[in-house]
Chains A and B, each alone.
Chain A
Amino acid sequence: MPGYFVFAIHFHQPTGQLKRVSDRVFENSYKLLLEVLKEFSDLKFTVHVSGPLLLYASEYYPDWLNELAKLAQYGVIEVLGGSLGEAILPILPGEDRDLQLREYARLAEKVFGLKPRGAWLPERVWEPGLVGHFARSGIEYVLLDDSTLQRANKTSSDSLYPWLTEDAGSRLAAFFIDTALRYVLPWEHPDRVIDFMKSRVRGLENPVLVWGSDAEKFGEWRDPGWARWWLREFLNKLRFEREIQTVHPSEYLKQFGVRGLVYLPPGSYDKMLEWSGGFFRNFIAKYAEVNNMHKKMLWVRRKLERAGGGLEEAWKSYLLAQCNDAYWHGLFGGVYLAHLRQAIYENYIKAERAAEEAAGYFGEEARKLLLEDFDYDGLDELLVESRDYNVYVDLRDGGTVFEFDVKRKGLEHNLQDTMSRYAEPYLEGAKFAPDWYRRVSARVHLWSTDTGIDDWLWNTPFKDLGDLALARHYLTHMDKEGVTLRATGGYYVFGSRVAEVEVEKRVRFLSNGYAIDYAVRNLRGGVIRAKVGYEYHLAPKIDRVGEGELSYAVGGSRLSVRDRYVGRASSVRVSSPVYPDVELSASRELEVWAAPLSTLARTEKGLMEMFQGLAVHFVDHVELDPGREVRLTVETRVAW
């Protein structure tokens, strides 16, 4: 009796992927794979195309998709279902899980002409509560990782069979992707891979060995010529192999059924477990930016729910914004990819605006000011919403602006979608200090007088002599034009508190942005000698379709966002080829530091800087006696 082999190829490009990247992957990998599948149409393959990629291919590669659909109709490939947005299902509200599965099924049925029976679970992030959602959407099986099964006290051989799992009376079969096979296929010579496969299945009755991984391993990760050779060699050999026979998962299930009942703990693939510390949701806790997107999702969902029916496009945007890639980080990219975060906000904001319009959210009001625990940290944030933009202020985190959404049609963008640098295992040993605060806007520092731009950018310790940057701010006053926030703290020299300091931020709402009137007061104690820093970060809109460059104008110069600036100026104007200019303007000329805020990414060529946003610091040299104050107004405006 042969051993069976499920060859499951996962095609995915995230929501917001740069067009040039998607196009390159199509040329290097996806087209190559299609040709190989056609050539080896006598074998059986399993294919999953993620929702965002299906939509992209429908628009840009319809022929490729039609050919793939033909392979499905011929029974060469078994098409796996999934979620429309390739979302991590366990982190979604229950109804969204159903919706994601249902909407993908609808799309897949339209494209492939058949209803998938199995599903690809994005990043194989499994929690037992998913069973009912899959069962309700007609999914009979999913592909998980053998590590998930082994954590249910099963052996390595047990993972060569599908098992049935149950939750609240619903049932679902699970096949298990073989980790060891994933590490050799396609990296070892085809002969060795086949020998390995044979050794895995030998002596067992009807085992099924499952390989499930990214399509890009063929042609994108290594060169296409090699991939073509490898696949042809491997598949040619499989044709002659009596001990291994390709099978579709549903066919296997029909014929041999499941091995028995199992209760699976939360899990994913081995590396994901390592990166997340064993539980995917840890990413939400670790990265404030992930939490921000996740909670924006929940906030927008509330509005969509209230808006009632007939918002199909808005819901679609919302579901696509749940695309997993920017909600986590392993070795590469993830939440550190600015263009992915950008697309997520863009979609949420589109959905939000549509929901607000449908629900008549603002009524007669020009804006809403809400105190809500937006980020689920137990304390309220200040949310200012108008038809054209949102400004969210984190009172606990230094009274900073952590979200600035432009909601105008066609301009949907979160200008505050900037990124902080976190400690990452792969950065250990590198000359790198993680950010000690979130890189957002309107944070006030009392820098020591010898502080320079690099100290600020790269976190030289003991330079901020105040504790206001992280201070809890209180909303102390509100009127038609704006709100007033206040915080008190200290100015320290060698660890001793020299002066008591108050920061006041009067946030005013402009037609095309917001202004903050800052006052930094020496309430009592000694003299404050410091550089008062007003820190801003901007996420200019990245051109995801073309190759347009970002730039900024400051002090009479036009610079690339890759360049830095130190000098006297009163404004910084940021330009994007796909967006109106955004200007930060101070009420007087002072020292300005401007530079790209970059994260460090590990690549084959060593550590590389990745642009996250433009960091702008207005720096005021002060000597402030007790009872004195320094004032500055900074406006943030979009030139629409």
Chain B
Amino acid sequence: MRAWILTFESKTTRKVGGLAEVPPELAKGLSERGVEAVLVTPSHGLTPEGDVLLEYRVEGEVYRVSSSDLAGLRHYIVSGGLFNSSDVYGGDLYAKALAFTRVVKALYEKSLDEGDWPDVLHANDWHSGLSIVAVNSLALEKGVKTRLVYHVHLLSKSRARLEDLESLTGGKQVRGRHGVRDLRYYYEASQGFVDKLVPLVSDATVTVSDDYARTVEKWVGLNHGLRVLTVPNASSWTPELVQKYVKELAGDRGVADRAQTRRAVFKELCSGSVSALSDEAYRALKALGVDAASDTWHQCFEEDGDLVLATGRVSRQKGFDLLLNALEKVVVRNPMVRVLLMTIPVPGSESILEFMVRRLRLFDKNLKIVFGHVDKRVFVPAHYAASVFVAPSYYEPFGLVALEAMASGTPVLASDTGGFKTTVLDVRVHGLRGTGVLFENGSVGQLASYLADLTLFMAAEDGAAQPTRVPGRIMDPAIRRLLEEEPRAPSIIRRSCAHRSAEFSWARSVSRLLEVYGAV
């Protein structure tokens, strides 16, 4: 089987977000299973090595497709024109997506001419999803069967213009859920929203969790009766990897004693910058009174305590406002709580940043925030040192962060949305096999209550030193009962977390993907 995996970013070329992880991992896994997998991706300013397979002119610009082996994986890298910029998602993204689509179409035409067209064309997210529309009409015209698989990692509200799509398809018909029709039919059914349109003309649409599959179905429109399949993501974090970083920061004692690691992390945070920040974000923070290069007040706890960690981009999606709004209630129940956010400012996040800094000043004892990409040297041990990891996202297609926390043996308090509903096993349901708690999405009250409960619960790990921390302070009866019935419950749950994270491997994801390919 020959499969082209289309993606706008890849950790093997240019990585910006989580998307960069998945296609190369899947492609690698597919190759290991005998599939001729090729990763097709733009160069984004890199100069690809290898043979030039194709030169193609779009809007007067010359694009080249080079065939390269990177990280043991065959790549077709599209360079030139709009891809001379290193800013993956900057500039006119729609124009980039169209250019990428035109080149992929030309590449596909070439493969038809040469008789080695792919059996599967697997596009990831809307930027490469437009290629499915172009290839669909071409394959239909030529009477060729290529299975078109659309993989949604994060839904987008991006729209395409009808004239652009008609130009891509040469005004030809496409085959879709409602049969072979003029493109206009599917365009109107989707209002031109790419993430509504592409699923309608794909042979299969997959996403990363069962819950998010429903979100995609809703977005496409339940009137179409589309069934979205699931191929879960996986994490490259393993307990061994985590311990390696812990050892580097806190030595063997740090591995044996998480409090030791915690103190080491706190020390790092107080000693200076541990993160890299874009100039833009630096200036935005400076204007808010945080000099991320020299200040430490925003990231340095004065006193030790129960570490609660949350990570992610500064965006509304991540629900940090919920966590910060819950803090007051948490502190009342557990004054020892130390909430640490490791968060990456992105363009457009200024108002949230401002809110965060205001909260930093309010809760100066209990809240600290590291802004920017944190070096793994500190980032990974912080997960290990945490009593609880919080993932309060309003929506989260998969939520790799939960797997990373669990690989570190840290239970997760997550909103009951998206992938968290699959990855996190609620201790109230699963008991000692549980790996955290799922709280009602968007509920500040529940987040506060369970965060207080979980930090108190985990503090019982070193309960002898904290005589006031008794199960009686835990409000939720199921969580309290766990501790009453099994004093070692916190340690057992840490082990359950590690086990659970191991269940999400790329090998498993690849098996599932092969099922999807086979079922199409």
Interface residues, chain A, with chain B CB atoms under 8 Å away:
35, 37-42, 70-71, 74-76, 236, 239, 251, 254-255
Q: Which residues of A contact B443 (CB under 8 A)?
A: 254
Q: Any chain A CB within 8 A of the CB of B349?
A: no
Q: Are B221 and A40 in contact (CB under 8 A)?
A: yes
User: Chain B, 197-220, contact with A by CB distance < 8 Å: what is the 0/1 string?
Assistant: 000000000000000001001110
Q: Any chain A CB within 8 A of the CB of B69?
A: no
- Name the 4 nearest CB pairs between A and B, nearest first: A38-B223, A254-B442, A38-B222, A41-B222
Give the residue name and chain of the A residue nearest to B394 (CB).
Answer: A255
Least CB distance from B2 to A in Å reads 35
Q: Any chain A CB within 8 A of the CB of B350?
A: no
Q: Which residues of A contact B222 (CB under 8 A)?
A: 37-39, 41, 70-71, 74, 76
Least CB distance from B198 to A in Å reads 15
Q: Are B223 and A254 in contact (CB under 8 A)?
A: no
Q: Are A74 and B442 in contact (CB under 8 A)?
A: no
Report Cα–Cα, A465/B191, bound state, in Å. 76
Q: Are A42 and B218 in contact (CB under 8 A)?
A: yes
Q: Mostly helix, strand, loop or mixed at chain A's interface?
A: helix
Least CB distance from B347 to A in Å reads 17
Report Cα–Cα, A193/B516, bound state, in Å. 45
Given A74-B214, A236-B191, A239-B191, decide whether A255 and B221 contact each other with a Cβ distance below 8 A. no
Q: Are B442 and A38 in contact (CB under 8 A)?
A: no
Sample 22 A-B pairs with CB under 8 A, ordered by A number: A39-B221, A39-B222, A39-B223, A41-B217, A41-B218, A41-B222, A41-B223, A42-B196, A42-B218, A42-B221, A71-B222, A74-B214, A74-B218, A74-B222, A75-B214, A75-B218, A236-B191, A251-B442, A254-B440, A254-B441, A254-B443, A254-B444
Q: Are A76 and B218 in contact (CB under 8 A)?
A: yes
Interface range, B side? 10 to 19
Give the residue name and chain of the B residue nearest to A67 (CB).
Answer: B222
Report Cα–Cα, A76/B217, bound state, in Å. 11
User: Chain B, 333-375, contact with A by CB distance < 8 Å: what is the 0/1 string?
Assistant: 0000000000000000000000000000000000000000000
Least CB distance from A246 to B in Å reads 12
Q: Which residues of A contact B217 (CB under 8 A)?
A: 41, 74
Q: How many interface contacts (CB-CB < 8 Å) are there between A and B?
A: 38
User: Chain B, 431-461, contact with A by CB distance < 8 Å: what is the 0/1 string?
Assistant: 0000000001111100000000000000000
Q: Which residues of A contact B442 (CB under 8 A)?
A: 251, 254-255
Q: Which residues of B contact A75 (CB under 8 A)?
A: 214, 218
Which of B217, B218, B442, B444 has the most CB atoms of chain A within a 10 A radius of its CB? B218
Give the residue name and chain of the B residue nearest to A42 (CB).
Answer: B219
Least CB distance from B97 to A in Å reads 20
Q: Which residues of A contact B440 (CB under 8 A)?
A: 254
Report Cα–Cα, A239/B223, bound state, in Å. 17
Contacts beyond the supplied A37-B222, A42-B221: 17 A-B pairs with Cβ under 8 Å: A38-B223, A41-B218, A41-B219, A41-B221, A42-B196, A42-B219, A71-B222, A74-B214, A74-B217, A74-B222, A75-B214, A76-B218, A239-B191, A254-B440, A254-B441, A254-B442, A254-B443
Give the residue name and chain of the B residue nearest to A35 (CB).
Answer: B223
Give the residue name and chain of the B residue nearest to A257 (CB).
Answer: B444
Least CB distance from A228 to B in Å reads 13
Q: Which residues of B contact A251 (CB under 8 A)?
A: 442
Which of A236, A239, A255 has the most CB atoms of chain B within a 10 A radius of its CB? A255
Q: Which residues of A contact B196 (CB under 8 A)?
A: 42
Report Cα–Cα, A37/B222, bound state, in Å. 8
Which of B217, B218, B222, B440 has the most CB atoms of chain A within a 10 A radius of its CB? B222
Given A254-B443, A255-B442, decide whether A38 and B221 contact each other with a Cβ distance below 8 A. yes
Report Cα–Cα, A42/B395, bound state, in Å. 14
Report Cα–Cα, A35/B443, bound state, in Å. 31
Least CB distance from A443 to B in Å reads 59
Least CB distance from B389 to A in Å reads 22
User: Chain B, 258-278, contact with A by CB distance < 8 Å: what is the 0/1 string?
Assistant: 000000000000000000000
Give the residue name and chain of the A residue nearest to B351 (CB).
Answer: A1
CB proximity to A under 8 Å, residues B212-239: 214, 217-219, 221-223
Least CB distance from B67 to A in Å reads 39
Which of B214, B219, B440 has the most CB atoms of chain A within a 10 A radius of its CB? B214
Q: Which residues of A contact B223 (CB under 8 A)?
A: 35, 38-39, 41
Give the residue name and chain of the B residue nearest to A236 (CB).
Answer: B191
Least CB distance from A47 to B in Å reads 14
Report Cα–Cα, A71/B218, bound state, in Å. 9
Least CB distance from B338 to A in Å reads 26
CB proximity to A under 8 Å, residues B286-333: none
Report Cα–Cα, A173/B375, bound state, in Å. 46
Give the residue name and chain of the A residue nearest to B189 (CB).
Answer: A39
Q: Which residues of B contact A41 (CB under 8 A)?
A: 217-219, 221-223
Least CB distance from B141 to A in Å reads 30
Report Cα–Cα, A37/B219, bound state, in Å. 12
Report Cα–Cα, A236/B189, bound state, in Å. 11
Report Cα–Cα, A239/B442, bound state, in Å. 22
Q: Which residues of B contact A76 (CB under 8 A)?
A: 218, 222
Give the residue name and chain of the A residue nearest to B155 (CB).
Answer: A42
Q: Which residues of A contact B221 (CB under 8 A)?
A: 38-42
Report Cα–Cα, A122/B214, bound state, in Å. 33
Report Cα–Cα, A255/B222, bound state, in Å. 27
Give the residue name and chain of the B residue nearest to A252 (CB).
Answer: B442
Least CB distance from A2 to B in Å reads 11
Least CB distance from A42 to B in Å reads 5
Report Cα–Cα, A255/B218, bound state, in Å. 22
Least CB distance from B211 to A in Å reads 10
Report Cα–Cα, A71/B441, bound state, in Å. 18
Report Cα–Cα, A35/B218, bound state, in Å. 13
Report Cα–Cα, A369/B444, bound state, in Å. 62
Least CB distance from B24 to A in Å reads 30
Give the residue name and chain of the A residue nearest to B225 (CB).
Answer: A38
Q: Which residues of A contact B191 (CB under 8 A)?
A: 236, 239
Report Cα–Cα, A251/B440, bound state, in Å. 10
Report Cα–Cα, A12/B8, bound state, in Å. 50
Report Cα–Cα, A38/B191, bound state, in Å. 15
Least CB distance from A171 to B in Å reads 14
Give the residue name and chain of the B residue nearest to A254 (CB).
Answer: B442
Give the residue name and chain of the A residue nearest to B321 (CB).
Answer: A255
Report Cα–Cα, A70/B214, bound state, in Å. 11
Least CB distance from B441 to A in Å reads 8
Q: Which residues of B contact A37 (CB under 8 A)?
A: 222
Q: Which residues of B contact A239 (CB under 8 A)?
A: 191
Report Cα–Cα, A255/B219, bound state, in Å. 22
Report Cα–Cα, A38/B442, bound state, in Å. 24
Give the residue name and chain of the A residue nearest to B444 (CB).
Answer: A254
Q: Which residues of B contact A42 (CB under 8 A)?
A: 196, 218-219, 221
Report Cα–Cα, A37/B218, bound state, in Å. 10
Least CB distance from A167 to B in Å reads 22
Report Cα–Cα, A40/B196, bound state, in Å. 11
Report Cα–Cα, A38/B189, bound state, in Å. 12
